[in-house]
Amino acid sequence: MRYLPLTPDDRVQMLGEIGVDSIDALFVDVPAAARREGFVDLPHVAGELEVERELAGLAARNVAAGSVPFFCGAGAYRHHVPASVDHLIQRSEFLTSYTPYQPEIAQGTLQVLFEFQTQVAALTGMEVANASLYDGSTACAEAVMMAKRVTKRNRAVLSGGVHPHYVRTTQTLAHAEGMEVDALTAAVDAEDAVIAAIDAGTACVVVQTPNVFGTATDVTKIAAAAQAAGALLIVVTTEAVSFGLLKSPGEMGADIVVAEGQSIGNALNFGGPYVGLFACREKLVRQAPGRLCGETVDADGRRGFVLTLSTREQHIRRDKATSNICTNSGLCALAFSIHMSLLGEVGLRRLAALNHQTARQLKTALEGVPGVEILTPRFFNEFAVKLGKPAADVVEALAAKGVLGGVPYSRLDPGAGLDDVLLVAATETVTEGDIAAFKAALTEVMA
């Protein structure tokens, strides 16, 4: 049966009820630069078998992360996920359950989210955490909006080390809220520039550590400068495993911490779904976005769990809500929590140390390649290198030799003028043989 849901008359009637002249009028708030003119370059009609064959052919052109030496990071990292994680999250009571609005029949789901929050608070060094957001970038944007509500100020300063995708996500939401975003120039080490940009009108300062170039920074001085000016410090982390080795953001004075939790329990998955971590000081909790699970007792005094302080648009008028994100990444949060439980504190610290050790071995190897300059002064498991030639071309040449050699910075921020900068990451999945293959291939490409 052909799928023809609406006739032309149906469309005219619907547009008339809405009060607009055309479908295009529904997209007036979308910037012209974000609209596509004309059709997508795809066949208009194809049978199911033809579509399957076409997509299979396209998929076969990909090089899977686990099939060759792999050094890509830039916000999404390849780690080993124990088989038990996927086995447990596929149990029907986890895989099919969704919104825990009725606590009397959702105690298992609520307890998992409560334990997840406890783990995130411990990792980040904060007093309270929510039950997750979509991903790290939306968590960052929500934190900036939260700072606006708390401080009653309208300007956010974003460090030049914040991942460009996080910057653009924040700018998108800030534009809708009428908030000014001062995104500083991309910098491998941005501490001094951030402090200089803080003024009396600053609502928040957003810094990332390790930043997009891999630089690990003690943000204590930035925290002091921000808070002296009455602003909040928001710390972003895209590599959650780094919490196992580096000083926590809470110890460094952060007011809000946001992170991408994909590294723990969640595979790359071609870019998603991921899990946004969000934690803050307890005094700020009533302005925190998303769900929050709390512990209580029932009428008989038995331990129980409920949703609490959830002033989202589903619970309150939209214009009064702290957030219009109406869900959380429950299954990905569960995978995160299971993996963390399997690791424990000792296991996470060992995993983090192994990541750092492997990255140091990679740095030593790449320092021996003529024409390669290491840019990152202090790093966890990722660093930036300057190649003296377009990094995108180098990556393509490396791929032809069977090595996925990192992410060109220009792919994240095309207009930054850093076309010769390559971001390389080394996790526990990288072997000495992988590093040797990378060095040999890069030596040939750079010759």
141 and 92 in one domain?
yes
SS3 178: coil
Let me know whether 69 and 108 are in one domain: no
**Contact at 8 Å (CB) between 73 and 406?**
yes
| Residue where a domain stops, chosen among 299, 315, 339 | 339
Quote the CA–CA distance of 281 and 292 in Å, as a whole number.
Answer: 14
* Statement: residue 1 has pLDDT above 60: no
> Are 261 and 370 in a shared domain?
no
Global pTM reads: 0.90
Name the band, by pLDDT with cuts 50, 70 and 90, for residue 281: very high
Helix, strand or coil for residue 326?
Answer: coil
The pLDDT tens digits of the residues spanning 357-372 come to 999 999 999 999 999 9
Q: Does residue 28 form part of some domain?
A: no
Domain of 288, in residue numbers: 83-339
CA distance 66 to 382: 18
Same domain, 192 and 328: yes
Measured in Å, how far apart are the chain's first and last C-alpha atoms? Answer: 60
- Distances 161 to 216, 364, 375 between C-alpha atoms, Å: 10, 24, 13
Query: Looking at the structure, do residues 103 and 225 belong to the same domain, yes or no?
Result: yes
Q: Count other Cβ atoms within 10 Å, centred on residue 122.
A: 16
DSSP secondary structure letter of residue 446? H
Count of the separate structural domains present in the chain: 2
Q: Are residues 118 and 235 in the same domain?
A: yes
352 plus 428 within the same structural domain = yes
Rounded to an integer, what distance in angstroms lies between the CA atom of residue 68 and that of residue 85?
24
Give the H/E segment covering residue 164: helix 164-177
Buried b (16+ CB within 10 A) or exposed e, 30-44: eeeeeeeeeeeeeee
Among 339, 357, 372, the domain-final residue is: 339
Alpha helices in 236-378 (DSSP H): 330-367
Peptide bond into 210 cis (omega under 30): yes
Among 3-7, 223-227, 441-445, name the one with the lowest average pLDDT: 3-7
245 with 321, same domain? yes
Give me the pLDDT at residue 2, please: 60
**CATH code for the domain in which residue 352 is found:** 3.90.1150.10
The confidence score (pLDDT) of residue 325 equals 74
Of 339, 370, 389, the residue at which a domain comes to its end is 339
The tens digit of pLDDT for each residue in 50-73 reads 999 999 999 999 888 999 999 999
268 and 181, same domain (yes or no)? yes
Which bin fits 178, alpha (ψ -120 to 50), beta or left (φ > 0)? left
Residues 73, 204, single domain; the answer is no
- Contact predicate 174/181, CB 8 Å: yes
Instruction: Decide if 11 is inside a domain.
Output: no
Q: Is there a domain that residue 255 lies in?
A: yes
Mean pLDDT of the chain: 93
Cβ neighbours of residue 165 closer than 8 Å, sequence gap 6 or more: 75, 137, 412
Q: Which residue has the tokens 């994100």?
A: 325
Strands (DSSP E) found in 274-415: 276-280, 293-297, 303-307, 373-374, 382-386, 407-408
Q: Is residue 228 part of a domain?
A: yes
- Which residue matches tokens 């934690």? 279
Task: Assess whether 332 and 437 both reside in one domain.
Answer: no
Domain shared by 310 and 172, yes or no: yes
Domain for residue 172, yes or no?
yes
> Of 281, 301, 327, whose CA–CA distance to 127 is shortest?
281
37: in domain? no
What's the pLDDT tens digit per position in 307-343? 888 765 556 677 777 887 766 688 999 999 999 999 9
For position 271, which CATH number holds?
3.40.640.10
